[in-house]
Chain A
């Protein structure tokens, strides 16, 4: 019996947000604070020849790479991205200089003239000679099996960039402290990523601390790039001796920061005439942009999910992340899986078509069930729910009947079956060794973790877990703002791990705290014994077995599952495809907070519809040419259809109260379901976004 888990209790941060009282980075003004600005490259590739200040520099603080006390690199995975260009420029909008001034208007009026020697840029990932990472996942013998297959279906599928469009643009402020240290406050997902990067940048003589400010959306877009901005603000603060705030406007945020990796995925699939998958040969290419940043891990998750939620004895997935002279692409909700699952699911409908089969029957025949092995050779445990999701979605949408009824009209209905691994890939969680901390307070406890609230409900959901595990009221659990000086490093707020992994450590902390209290109230304990703090480390399930070299084994401790059905109408004059109804059936263990979970599914689904239908990044000469919300359009209320959300339960014993991860799953399904619905109308579409200009050029089926 639980008191708050499973109930939609009040959000911890609800009132501040509904009254406008909550302070975001740009809402903070400190005495003596300067505004910071980044001067960026205007060429895609070349070297800096000269820099001239075409303004009166009085009152300005100016920083270039020579002011860096430590190492000029944004430390992440592979240390290849500089904080500030020294001579070589690798992409448009690369930071070269930093300026700060007390008056924002004066600051932005300053003109810096930079002369370059240009080099030939590479924009096409297929033409690039440099790969950041190559992955091969092999099971069985694909070549022989393909040769012997009764039917072989081939296809190439493409997805474009996607911009996060968190409504709060990136922003940080850095404060020089009296003891010579620097504290950076900012909108971000991963304070300890920023800390690691700042330590390298500032060197051993300048201690640093990172504190998250309330964050107005992230979706992966505030995973790695805030480390860059934090460093810039810290450099300006150090040189000026004053607090410095850097807030990007929308154009700068769109031009300079990361996007979802564009992808090209090629399938060659062998089947029996009856529709059984025999062999899958999959090639995945993603465009990494100019620096490695997170591309190799995006590629990893993307390639592991590339064979979809299907059983196939012989698979070979070959994946590579290519360098181009465009701003680095990075984390975006789903992290490579939305791209590869898009390809798989559109391909499945093409297979069904070639076999003359119903797309549901094809999936029913091949969907992974408990006991099956995935492409990495992982044997699924009992918490695998592909068929349950598929059957529920098909039944409640009356899919089979509508599929017939809409034939020959401008209406279409399509579905997609998908899954998403929760937590870091493979041995990632073991390497992270995340920790959580719980402190006793006079009334109850305080949670001190680095997992950030970015809208998804971290504070609320963590407090529910602790409340129930300790048996104290939800109201008596406080949640501290992530602060690297006091919070336990619970790892980054990414990879659908905040509930399943960090929530589970907190559950154990709460159990330990309860045992230590031994029946005393928190106040009694503090009075008689003194302060109490419990810090525990993540313990991965003992059965996890993963080989990073061969990419074989248990890629994730568990998966969440989903099936989306999209109904849409095509305007015969404008070729606009408008979704009219979406059904999302998703199994993610168990919802800790049903309303928050529903919000994740609804929000992720609509982002997926935007990815499918509206959101087109136009790249021209290596830069985003439509970096405004007028020209890069995300779904408004009028673009968003009615949604039917179904949450199925299938508990995962390694998660808190049976919960798995949910954050990313919902964005994997909408795009292929949309394209399959368009296909049902009769257009042979193999790329997104499915804007009218693209649909007009599609062949009719």
Chain B
């Protein structure tokens, strides 16, 4: 399957019905994408496909054909959201963090608190009660503008 992964053209051999989550973690060695439930409820496995956040545990690899896929590794390490999640303690145990950051990365600039809440409603965090995550996202937004 040929697709664009974190900005580079790749050609990965795996069964077309294998979960994209497993292909990313196993064939591509990108373990920043986490499995929390395997049924699309928790959002820990969130990646961006053609710019949209999806649960990679629900996506058969065949759907990656020709697509642009971005994982947490694709943000580098200097994305404002990553810095703000550190500064605002938006990450506690860290297992939901990659998915949470990717879901936050596609929120519109200047999103209100209500829009942030709706945008992150598919990503569960059991540690923070979400408040620190809102603070991190808002800090990153003000940094971007």
Q: How far is the CB of B120 from chain A (nearest CB, A)?
A: 5
Q: Which of A293-301, A494-502, A601-609 contacts B (4 or more CB under 8 A)?
A: A601-609
Contact B82 A599 (CB under 8 A): no
A105 CA to B120 CA, complexed, in Å: 33
B28 CB-CB contact with A under 8 Å: no
Contacting pair A167 B72 (CB below 8 A): no
- Give the contacting residue for B94; candidates A17, A598, A628; CB below 8 A: A17
Known: A15-B86, A20-B73, A217-B93. A249 touches B38 (CB 8 A): yes
B residues less than 8 Å from A129 (CB atoms): none
Contact among B25, B75, B120 for A637, CB-based, below 8 A: B120
Complex partner residue of A167 from B30, B124, B130, B131, CB under 8 angstroms: B124
Task: Find B91's partner among A11, A598, A607 (CB 8 Å cutoff).
Answer: A11
Name which residue of chain B comes closest to A637, CB basis: B117
Chain B residues in 8 Å Cβ range of A607: 126, 129
Q: Which of the residues A18, A630, A637 comes within 8 Å of B97, measured between beta carbons?
A: A18
B71 close to chain A: CB less than 8 A:
yes
Q: Is the CB of B92 within 8 A of A26?
A: no
Interface residues of A in 268-289 (CB under 8 A from B): none
Q: Which residue of A lies closest to B77 (CB)?
A: A19
Q: How far is the CA of A595 from the CA of B120 in the complex (A)?
A: 21
* Closest beta carbon of chain A to B119's beta carbon, Å: 8
Is B92 touching A455 in the complex (CB atoms < 8 A)?
yes
Q: Which residue of A lies closest to B35 (CB)?
A: A26
Inter-chain contact B41/A629, CB cutoff 8 Å: yes
Chain B 72-122 residues near chain A, CB threshold 8 A: 72-73, 75-77, 81-83, 85-89, 91-98, 101, 116-118, 120-122
**How extensive is the interface on chain A, given as a class?**
35 or more
Complex contacts, A628 vs chain B, CB 8 Å? 37, 39, 41
The answer to whether A455 and B39 touch (CB under 8 A), given A166-B93, A217-B93, A599-B132, is no
- The bracket for how many chain B residues form the interface is 35 or more
Query: With A167-B36, A595-B88 in contact, do A630 and B41 touch (Cβ < 8 Å)?
Result: yes
Given B36, B121, B129, which contacts A606 in the complex, CB threshold below 8 Å?
B129
Q: Is A457 close to B, CB under 8 A? A: yes
Bound Cα distance A604, B12 (Å)? 43
Contact check, A217 vs B86: say whether CB atoms are below 8 A apart: no
Q: Is A127 positioned at the interface, with any CB of B under 8 Å from its CB? A: no
A602 in contact with B128 given A15-B77, A18-B86 (CB within 8 Å): yes
- Min C-beta distance of A457 to chain B, whole Å: 7
Interface, chain A (partner B; CB < 8 A): 8, 10-11, 13-24, 26-27, 164-169, 214-219, 249-250, 454-457, 595-596, 598-599, 602-607, 628-630, 634-638, 640, 643, 645
30 A-B pairs whose Cβ atoms sit less than 8 Å apart in the complex: A10-B86, A17-B91, A18-B81, A19-B72, A19-B75, A19-B77, A20-B97, A21-B32, A22-B94, A165-B126, A166-B93, A166-B95, A166-B126, A167-B34, A167-B126, A216-B94, A217-B93, A250-B37, A599-B127, A602-B132, A603-B129, A629-B36, A629-B39, A629-B124, A636-B122, A636-B124, A637-B116, A637-B130, A638-B118, A640-B130
